[in-house]
Amino acid sequence: MDEFEIIDRFFSKLGDQTSDHVLLGPGDDCAVVSVPSGWELCVSTDTLVEGVHFPLDSPGELVAHRAFSASVSDLAAMGALPHSMTGALTMPEAREPWLAAFAEALGDLSSSFNIPLIGGNLSKGPLMVTMTVMGIVRSGTALLRRGAMPGDSVYVTGEPGRAAAGLALHVAGVKSELTSAYTKPTPRLSVGERLIGIASSAIDISDGLFADLQHICQASQVGAEIEINGLPVSKEREEHAGRDQAILSALTGGDDYELCFTVPERMSTSIDRVTKETAVPITRVGRIIEGAGVSVPGVELTQPGYRHFE
Amino acid sequence: MDEFEIIDRFFSKLGDQTSDHVLLGPGDDCAVVSVPSGWELCVSTDTLVEGVHFPLDSPGELVAHRAFSASVSDLAAMGALPHSMTGALTMPEAREPWLAAFAEALGDLSSSFNIPLIGGNLSKGPLMVTMTVMGIVRSGTALLRRGAMPGDSVYVTGEPGRAAAGLALHVAGVKSELTSAYTKPTPRLSVGERLIGIASSAIDISDGLFADLQHICQASQVGAEIEINGLPVSKEREEHAGRDQAILSALTGGDDYELCFTVPERMSTSIDRVTKETAVPITRVGRIIEGAGVSVPGVELTQPGYRHFE
């Protein structure tokens, strides 16, 4: 199979998905898409490298799930509705079962989240995936990292830290409910789009709550205080590793793609409605204060989150 | 230097470039861009892998030029005006001089072609670059591969085959005017945008004229005949390798990112104007006929262009 046969066999049906936004799908020099009048386009690019972002010899399904969620999660953090995506895959050789599993999982995610694949690239090379995702927001409404104000509450979706704990179990070969938080993370699009007009700032948690809340603080020129008693701590993680470790996981574990966002006092009653409409647990974990940096009274934290080339 | 320091030091100024289309540049979860009412967005993604798409130990400047041109050339083939781009770079270690050269060249290209970098990704991994480029066209006017009709003339810009010949000389360490066709290819944006309303189909030549004209024929359900006497053949190439090899290079050499396009008889007088306005040589090399496939009377050709995983 050469590249054209692989694309035809495994990926062409992903391009068939119809959408009002997609005027020309894969197969020409470019895709052609439209953006509705009065809306803006959000764009994000993420790369996942074998052995760096996911374990060696990971199944195609895992790589598709993680590549999709890592990038689509950035749309959720802007409050965007899904629009379209491109994918660039390199692999050392054309392994059919892996490609079939990758393409099927990506196709399922593409149709269930309504994000058609509009183009991409397939080349020989080390196993890596780069996704570029696009979403739309009504003009001027995108949720930014800047915008948090002293007095705002800090919220998170789900239980951050589950994926990092799940990865450790996954690598050790232990079966657990936590592992699927790593192997099949869910981007929080349904929550993100409902936070527009409610949240004053938002980010997705890729490097851990502690590290990513710092990005909000930097961009907003404020500080934050996390209250550990309020942290949603994974019960499974607590049983496996004890309360202290579970709290540490919740603060520093990345890879979940939960959302962290801030909400002014006057909007706080709207959060219950978002939880009800989405069935996603949302927990208040702290508050924005004047100053700089994130403090967690009762816990000593130095780890700033994963950094490449350190 | 960790990834944030590298981005700050080498890439942040690329994000500073202003554009009416860019509402929010790099630094948040997504960039936010606008598409003017009455226009559509063209999107293309291309990956370049070290040792596959460019030689091992290539300088940063070469990699930036080739990554930029390979992707932006796809916008030219649609007749699009430049809009914005994202870039994903992985490299095994943070080599400062390489990064400085790469970022400077990419920055120069970004500003001279007016394509601001709106986001990207930097990770540890094998040396690879994935660019996603965006351009705009007035609604319904994009140049497609389909649309060629029997009787149309086939044209090319420049002298296809120069880059492939230049690569061979570059690898052999020979200095020649041809090498810059490989190391610094120029996307033909200025020609592409002027072909709207004139060309009936277009493609950029990445795999060689013979292979890429086949894509036009397939998409348009027509055949084509190339007249070798009309081929623009590189004089340097002819001196180095003889007339027959130079013709073969012109037919099968890829990597130039020249444009190949078809023009109906009634529009053919417009081509002189495009040449005058852009100072890019444009040559008639053949014609579209009924049938299928590309024939080159007088030359036997089997090579279909480079294919990964073959």
Chain B closest-CA separation from residue A240 CA (Å): 31
Residue A310: its chain B contacts at CB < 8 A? 2
Residue B124: its chain A contacts at CB < 8 A? 49, 52, 308-309
Segment A273-276 long-range contacts (CB within 8 Å, at least 24 positions apart): A273/A194, A274/A191, A274/A194, A274/A195, A274/A198
Chain B closest-CA separation from residue A208 CA (Å): 15
Q: What is the pLDDT of residue A308?
A: 65
The partner residue sitting opposite B121, judged by closest CB among A23, A41, A46, is A46
CATH number of domain containing B192: 3.90.650.10
Looking at B85, B110, B138, the residue that finishes a domain is B138
| Chain B nearest-CA residue for A121 | B46
Looking at A75, A104, A138, the residue that finishes a domain is A138
Residues A26, A103, single domain; the answer is yes
Torsion of CA B134, B139, B140, B144, to 10 degrees: -10
| Residue stretches of chain B with pLDDT short of 50 | none
**Is residue B163 within 8 Å of residue B250, measured between CB atoms?**
no
The partner residue sitting opposite A123, judged by closest CB among B52, B122, B139, is B52
The partner residue sitting opposite B309, judged by closest CB among A6, A29, A121, is A6
How many CB pairs lie under 8 A apart between chains A and B? 213
Shortest CA distance to B225 belongs to which of B259, B253, B251, B258? Answer: B251
Chain A closest-CA separation from residue B277 CA (Å): 24
Asked whether residue A144 is assigned to any structural domain, the reply reads: no
Alpha carbon B261 to chain centroid, angstroms: 14
Interchain proximity B126–A125, CB inside 8 Å:
yes
Full-model pTM: 0.94
Alpha carbon A265 to chain centroid, angstroms: 26
Residues B185, B54, single domain; the answer is no
Bridge partners of residue A258, in order along the sequence: A205
Report how far residue B33's alpha carbon sits from residue B35's, in angstroms, rounded to the nearest whole number. 7
Q: What is the pLDDT of residue B240?
A: 80
Token pair of A120, please? 């991409």
Interchain proximity A142–B24, CB inside 8 Å:
yes
Residues B213, B133, single domain; the answer is no
| Residue stretches of chain A with pLDDT short of 70 | 302-310
Residues B187, B223, single domain; the answer is yes
Asked whether residue B35 is assigned to any structural domain, the reply reads: yes
Asked whether residue B309 is assigned to any structural domain, the reply reads: no
Asked whether residue B304 is assigned to any structural domain, the reply reads: no
Residues A170, A122, single domain; the answer is no
The partner residue sitting opposite A32, judged by closest CB among B23, B45, B142, is B142
Asked whether residue B301 is assigned to any structural domain, the reply reads: no
Interchain proximity B49–A4, CB inside 8 Å:
no
Q: What is the pLDDT of residue A266?
A: 95
Asked whether residue A59 is assigned to any structural domain, the reply reads: yes
Residues B121, B173, single domain; the answer is no
Residues B126, B174, single domain; the answer is no
**What ipTM score was computed for the predicted complex, to two decimals?**
0.94
Pairing state of beta strands B223-226 and B293-295? parallel
Report how far residue B261's alpha carbon sits from residue A238's, in angstroms, rounded to the nearest whole number. 64
Chain A closest-CA separation from residue B77 CA (Å): 7
Asked whether residue A304 is assigned to any structural domain, the reply reads: no
- The length of chain A in residues reads 310
Interchain proximity A45–B130, CB inside 8 Å:
yes
Where b means 16+ CB within 10 Å and e means fewer, B47-76 reads bbbbebbbeeebebbbbbbbbbbbbbbbbb
Residues B267, B179, single domain; the answer is yes
Chain A closest-CA separation from residue B111 CA (Å): 20
The partner residue sitting opposite B31, judged by closest CB among A32, A43, A87, is A43
Shortest CA distance to A8 belongs to which of A141, A83, A99? Answer: A99
Residues A126, A161, single domain; the answer is no
**Axis-axis angle for helices A243-252, A209-220 (nearest 10):** 40
Bridge partners of residue A39, in order along the sequence: A138
Residues A108, A205, single domain; the answer is no
Report how far residue A118's alpha carbon sits from residue B134's, in angstroms, rounded to the nearest whole number. 13
CATH number of domain containing A88: 3.30.1330.10
The partner residue sitting opposite B132, judged by closest CB among A125, A132, A202, is A132
Residues B133, B219, single domain; the answer is no
Looking at B138, B169, B196, the residue that finishes a domain is B138
**Number of independent structural domains in chain A:** 2
DSSP A32-48: EE---TTEEEEEEEEEE
Residues B129, B160, single domain; the answer is no
Asked whether residue A308 is assigned to any structural domain, the reply reads: no
Interchain proximity A41–B27, CB inside 8 Å:
no
Range of the domain at A276: 153-295
| Chain A nearest-CA residue for B123 | A308
Bridge partners of residue A44, in order along the sequence: A133
DSSP A230-298: G----HHHHHHH-HHHHHHHHHH-----EEEEEE-GGGTTHHHHHHHHH---EEEEEEEESSSEEE-TT
* Cβ neighbourhood burial of A268 (10 Å; 0-12, 13-18, 19+): middle
